[in-house]
Amino acid sequence: MNHRKQPPTESAIFKTNAERHEPAVRDHGLGVEFWRDRPVLVTGASGFLGTWLVKRLLDMGGRVVGTARKPGSALPGVDEHERLRREYGDLADAGWLSKILTKHRVKSVFHAAAQPLADVAFDDPVGTFESNVAGSWRLLDACRAQGTVEQVVFASSDRVYGNAGIGLGENTPVTTGHPYDASKACAELISKAYAHSYGTPIAIARSGVLFGGGDRNWRRLVPGTILSVLRDESPVVRSDGQALLDYLYVEDAVDAYLRIAVSLAANPHLRGEAFNICNETPLTILQMVRKIIHTMGSALEPTLLSEPQGVPQQRSSSANKARELLGWNATYSLDAGLSRTIQWYRSAFTDERDGAAHGLEELRCQ
């Protein structure tokens, strides 16, 4: 049975944010009134997922506080919004976190701050654990001590399942063998401990590979492949390309995060629960690269380095729990999400070549 909603038409894909999101929020029950004037904290607000969360919350009338280590935003125009307040610092500073929660009277928290790259985690496991594990417990303890935070949504990953197979449910045992995976699994266990021991209103979102406009981590598969094709260069795949993974368009992920928070407000029994948020359309890395190349109308062929990667990943989740308890489905098909993503990068690539301030500045450094 196909649970997915029909993807938006091509004309809808290129509508402005106000045209597309305001009706979508009403139709999907994401709580426009719930978010209006609501004080919300987004950690990692200058990152890829964090920026998209900030943008959507501002669109719905929220009063958003975004934390980051330094100024910046993955999307143009977000930083200038009158309802956005920026706080710069490090999650290692527990006192700083407590002051932010008090100063802004935060009611909802989206914890997206993390060291997000698996290869960096392999080279620097201690730094990754400090960011992803210790940063999470400091935030949770600040929320516990504050006592006024009503929802916390933690950004985890389906990598906590290891290579467990296809159609994985949330009860699949957490099995990790990589420092990045372990950092997310540890933070999940700590989140559940705070939920069960202190009643901290937290729930966990486990996503596959997120993609969309604004991701400037060129080592990631989707933006790196798009950038190569824009330059008319063969995309390079370091592995043999056979790892089977889930991919999810970032706006669908944002929808899921908001729905988790609204559902937590309505149902306290969801505290400590984890939810798979996925498109349920797994592809191998090589299939995904070729799909991007084809969608971009290119005749390039990927270059496979076939570097040793250990056991090929075989990991795909089921979104049944999110459908049943949250009423969430991925709105965008994989093709529709890729079309939007490619259009964003093409526009940014053109802007950069024309000297626009919000273009792909990093292109000059590649």
Secondary structure of the chain in HEC code, one letter for each residue: CCCCCCCCCHHHHCCCHHHHHHHHHHHHCCCHHHHCCCEEEEECCCCHHHHHHHHHHHHCCCEEEEEECCCCCCCCCCCCCCCEEEEECCCCCHHHHHHHHHHCCCCEEEECCCCCCHHHHHHCHHHHHHHHHHHHHHHHHHHHHHCCCCEEEEEEEHHHHCCCEEEECCCCCCCCCCHHHHHHHHHHHHHHHHHHHHCCCEEEEEECEEECCCCCCCCCHHHHHHHHHHCCCCCEECCCCCCEECEEEHHHHHHHHHHHHHHHHHCHHHCCCEEEECCCCCEEHHHHHHHHHHHCCCCCCCEECCCCCCCCCEEEECCHHHHHHHCCCCCCCHHHHHHHHHHHHHHHHHHHHCCCCCCCHHHHHC
Nearest Cα residue to 151 out of 33, 41, 50: 41
Long-range contacts from 336-339, C-beta under 8 angstroms, 24+ separation? 336/7, 336/8, 336/13, 336/249, 337/211, 337/212, 337/247, 337/248, 337/249, 337/251, 337/252, 337/279, 338/211, 338/222, 338/249, 338/291, 338/292, 338/295, 339/10, 339/13, 339/295
Burial (CB count within 10 angstroms: exposed 0-12, middle 13-18, buried 19+), residue 136: buried
Indicate if 180 belongs to the active site: yes
**How far is residue 156's CA from residue 265's CA, in Å, rounded to a whole number?**
20
Identify the active-site residue in 180, 247, 249, 345: 180
User: Which residues carry out catalysis?
Assistant: 180
